[in-house]
Amino acid sequence: MKLKEVNFVYNENLSGKSLTNDNITSCFYYGTNLCSSNINTLCEKNENSVEPCEETLNACETIESYLKENNINMEINCKLTLNNKRIDSISINEEIITEEALDKILSFPLYEKLTIYVDNSKNLLEKIGKQAVDLKRLYIYADSDNKQLLSLKSGSLKYFSRLYDLILSDVNLTKTVINEIGNDTSLVYL
């Protein structure tokens, strides 16, 4: 790039990151809403300096940071949608997660897919069902350390009205729960 000088003075509608290029030796940014992603460039060090850009964490990074800060050692395998606006999939281990951490995770926008490892210790299914109402894919695995099958209670899945894909692994199903699953009109894959 041959650009040597940048002058965006008093362009109040201009926002975002400023240009950074080793060839730019003169820049004028005052009166803008620009920030700098590289505060060490020559142009950024003059009297027209802009503030460093605040790096915002996406939802997955925020959750991982929260878990680390609260000493919750849990792999979440969090994935974002293509536009990074919402969480597409995340794994939760009920045995490890705290109520507060679960609330934090469920405070983020719409989950498409949720994988949970449950031991029925925290009524995780009910809480998730009430908060993640648009959930489409739910994968439930019994806690691998627990040598017995997980038993789903009648009504455990009643809040998941939009599910089209449900996986139940190492889960003991009563006739009542089987009937409830069978009556779910949105379910396509079981």
Is-contact 150 170, C-beta < 8 A?
yes
Q: Using alpha carbons, list the distances in angstroms from residue 56 to 82, 89, 117, 133, 149.
A: 17, 20, 30, 27, 42
138 located within any domain: yes
Determine the pLDDT at residue 140.
85
pLDDT higher than threshold 80 for residue 65: yes
In angstroms, the Cα distances linking 134 to 112, 137, 160, 164, 180 are: 7, 9, 8, 11, 19
**Residue 153 sits in the same domain as residue 72:** yes
**pLDDT: which is higher, 112 or 61:** 61
Q: Give me the amino acid identity at 34.
A: L
Per-residue pLDDT, 71: 92
Residue 189 placed within a domain: no
Domain limits at 114? 59-182
Residue labelled with tokens 């609330």: 103
Higher pLDDT, 20 or 105: 105
Share of the chain above pLDDT 70, in %: 84
| Residue 9: predicted pLDDT | 82
Q: How many domains does the chain have?
A: 2
List Cβ neighbours of 74 (8 Å cut-off, separation of 6 or more).
67, 92, 93, 96, 97
| Domain-embedded: residue 53 | no
Residue 149 forms part of a structural domain:
yes
Tens of pLDDT, residues 159-188: 888 888 999 888 888 899 888 888 877 889
Q: How high is the pLDDT of residue 99? A: 85
Domain identity same for 139 and 101: yes
Indicate if 29 and 120 belong to the same structural domain. Answer: no
Average pLDDT over residues 13-31: 74
Q: Are 143 and 170 in contact (CB under 8 A)?
A: no
Kindly state whether residues 131 and 173 are assigned to the same domain: yes
pLDDT at 67: 92
54 inside domain:
no
If asked whether residues 63 and 135 sit together in one domain, one would say yes
Are both 89 and 161 inside the same structural domain?
yes
**Overall size of the chain counted in residues:** 190
Same domain, yes or no: 37 and 119: no
Confidence at residue 143, expressed as pLDDT on a 0 to 100 scale:
65
Distance (Å, whole) CA 160 – CA 150: 19
- Pair (167, 102) in one structural domain: yes
pLDDT tens digits, 105-160: 888 876 678 888 877 666 778 888 888 877 888 888 876 565 566 778 888 888 88
82 and 11, same domain (yes or no): no
Whether residue 75 is found in the same domain as residue 155? yes
Question: 92 and 150 in one domain?
Answer: yes
Residues 37-60, mean pLDDT to the nearest whole number: 67
